[in-house]
Amino acid sequence: MTNVLILGANGQLARNTTRAFLEHGNVSLTLYLRQASRLSNPDPQWVSVVEGDVLFPGTLRAAMYGADVVYANLTGDMARQARAIVDAMHATGVKRLLFISSMGIYGEVPGERYRAILDPYRDSSEVIEQSDLDYTILRPGWFTRDPQFRYQITQKGEPFKGRDVSLNSLSELIVQLATVPGLHVRCSLGVSNA
């Protein structure tokens, strides 16, 4: 049984990935979000819903105890949130972090220039990369509703391939990363449809 804490659990990708985790089975989920009333519990036997802000250390640590994997899907002051996550993981002894960022943070998308809108993603990824955690940063393309499970991965330093990625493909990858020990640890992965 893998215990997964999902931060930012009401986001589009997080909701889709919650479904994918439950279909996979052998997982217990804690859904962490600022307004718990915005999300109904999809399976009370395997899922608990916790209201809290990533920037509230006591609440975050309490939700994190017992987790095997932290999966963060956040917006806002992402660098500050990333520091709070790293601190809470150190305090609770959790090592495995899956962190959603964005394509383009390294200027790796051919024909595209780095834009200031990517600063929060770039800054938070830098915080994660400088930590001693067993992280995987995911840099997806734009989300689509394509039902297919096809994706390709590029490593940091390689040109990003493609543009879009289906929510289902990205969720499938997140489930694999959470449930297969050592998969793509300390990597930053560009993810797009194959």
What are the structural domains, with CATH classification, of the chain? 2-192 (3.40.50.720)
Residue 121 pLDDT level (bands cut at 50, 70, 90): very high
Which residues make Cβ contacts (< 8 Å) with residue 141, sequence separation at least 6? 103, 160, 162, 163, 164, 165, 190, 191, 192, 193
End-to-end Cα spacing for the chain: 31
Report whether 19 contacts 42 (CB < 8 A): yes
- State pTM to two decimals: 0.97
In tens, the pLDDT along 69-84 reads: 999 999 999 999 999 9
Q: What's the confidence (pLDDT) of residue 114?
A: 78
In tens, the pLDDT along 27-59 reads: 999 999 999 999 999 999 999 999 999 999 999
Going by the DSSP 8-state scheme, the letter that residue 160 receives in this structure is P
Q: Give the Cα separation of 53 and 36 in Å (integer).
A: 11
Report whether 61 contacts 92 (CB < 8 A): yes
What is the rounded (10 degree) CA torsion for 65, 175, 154, 97? 0
Counting residues of the chain whose pLDDT is more than 70, the rounded percentage is 100
